[in-house]
A = this chain, B = another copy of it.
Amino acid sequence: MEALGVIVEYNPFHNGHLYHLQQSKNLTNPDVVIAVMSGQFLQRGEPALVSKWERTKMALLNGIDIVVELPYAFATQKAEVFATGAVSILSELRVDSFCFGSEQGNIEDFNRTVQLMGEKSDPYHSSVQKYIKEGNSYPKASSLAFSETFQNENVIDLTQPNNILGFHYVKAVLELGSPIQPFTIGRTTAGYHDEQLYPSNIASATAIRKHLFETNREIQHVQDYVPAPTFSVLQQIKSFHRWEDYYSLLKYKILCSTPEQLRTFYEVEEGIEYRLQECMKKSKTFQEFMTMLKTKRYTWTRLQRMCTHILTNTTKDEMKRVTEKKEYSYVRLLGMSKAGQHYLREIKKDITIPIISNVASFSDDGLALDKKATIAYSIPLSEPERSAFIHKEFSQPPIRFDEELRKFV
């Protein structure tokens, strides 16, 4: 069986995702599509709008055959680590190809850029250091160094968020020595950060979430921008998750910790622990807190990721133990179609790591972070929903979808 991989957040699954999925299938003609999907917290350091289980349902209903979880230790990281984690899992699951969306839209440009970057690695990294010393954030410094190093070369535009991710995907494939064939598809209409709902039926996930929050979840207005199955899942959801719901917890965590304790959390560096406490004392909302905290040196996204790690109580030591390993110790299965189930049976003999269906009986440093993330994610819910939500993390078997009958079984 031919397998295609995609790396996704589906926050929530919208028409742009469906377009990408259909184009990817047209390009590679796979028997099954495997999605590596982030769990409760996402790459920009935010809680997912709805839980990983709801997003798994959306994925299965929209044509994904297997959904596996990108562990917290990779899902909430800068592009490089995120990409390495995601591509490694696809590699473990023996996909033949994988396809990502990008602003550039041409895989040869990515291959050439990665190759050139390999050749000019030293001058590039010196240049990055120079720009960081000048007080720029890491992404800004990388972008400036990139322009400087490759000013006369035909390279991709690495100021575009999806190009950056794509670059790291292609680089990860090369570094892992993986036989996976990468493809890319140009993104249409809506940019990653766009906050508008366009008149066409494609809008960014950011715009869709913004609309849901601002209108106090009048979900009928997003109906035009999401596939019907997504809409039916959204209709059944009682509450959407956003940072403001976690502000009390974050305030508690930041102000009830000593600076020394804050420093143990992943990404809390360079004395920012004092600034975290000062800004938290003065703020009354998450937005206000972040606006005070923001400096030229730190991107908003990096600060949000830092807050995510504080919220989930994730220390530098814990993160190191997980990301230092060169190999995954498990893949967590969230859902599968009948075709997906068939594929997994087929590859079982070829793969060495366990595919986890029931986490209660499996102990692992990486999985421990996912469990904590689910607990932190659940706290703003009311009882008895919260207890049920936590229980689900430890008891829910993978969601099974019968694609012929179009229903969960």
Contact = CB atoms under 8 A, between A and B. Distances in A.
Interface of A: 248-249, 251-252, 255-258, 261, 281-285, 312-313, 368, 372, 375-376, 379, 383-384, 386-387, 390-391
A358 to B, nearest CB: 16
B376 A252 contact: yes
A255 B387 contact: no
Contacts of A384: 284
A251 B372 CA distance: 12
A255 B312 contact: no
A167 B4 CA distance: 76
Nearest to A390: B281
Most chain B CB within 10 A, of A248, A251, A313, is at A248
A368 B261 CA distance: 14
22 contacts: A248-B379, A249-B249, A249-B252, A251-B386, A252-B252, A252-B376, A252-B379, A255-B372, A255-B375, A255-B390, A256-B312, A256-B313, A256-B372, A256-B375, A256-B376, A257-B313, A261-B313, A281-B390, A281-B391, A283-B387, A284-B386, A285-B383
B252 A383 contact: no
Q: Is the interface of A mostly helix, strand, loop or mixed?
A: helix
A102 to B, nearest CB: 36
Contacts of A283: 387
Contacts of A312: 256
A14 B107 CA distance: 78
Contacts of A391: 281
Given A248-B379, A281-B391, A284-B386, 13 more contacts: A249-B252, A251-B386, A252-B252, A252-B376, A255-B372, A255-B390, A256-B312, A256-B376, A258-B368, A281-B387, A281-B390, A283-B387, A285-B383
Shortest Cβ-Cβ A-B pairs, 6 listed: A284-B383, A255-B375, A256-B313, A252-B379, A256-B372, A284-B387
Nearest to A372: B256
Contacts of A256: 312-313, 372, 375-376
Nearest to A311: B256
Nearest to A252: B379
B375 A252 contact: yes
A105 B22 CA distance: 85
A369 to B, nearest CB: 11
Nearest to A368: B258
A184 B215 CA distance: 64
A319 to B, nearest CB: 13
A256 to B, nearest CB: 4
Contacts of A285: 383
A257 B261 CA distance: 13
Contacts of A284: 383-384, 386-387
Contacts of A251: 379, 386
Contacts of A383: 284-285
Contacts of A255: 372, 375, 390
A384 B255 CA distance: 16
A122 to B, nearest CB: 41
Contacts of A258: 368
A283 B376 CA distance: 16
A376 B379 CA distance: 16
A242 to B, nearest CB: 16
Nearest to A381: B248
Nearest to A283: B387
A295 B318 CA distance: 33
A289 to B, nearest CB: 11
Contacts of A281: 387, 390-391
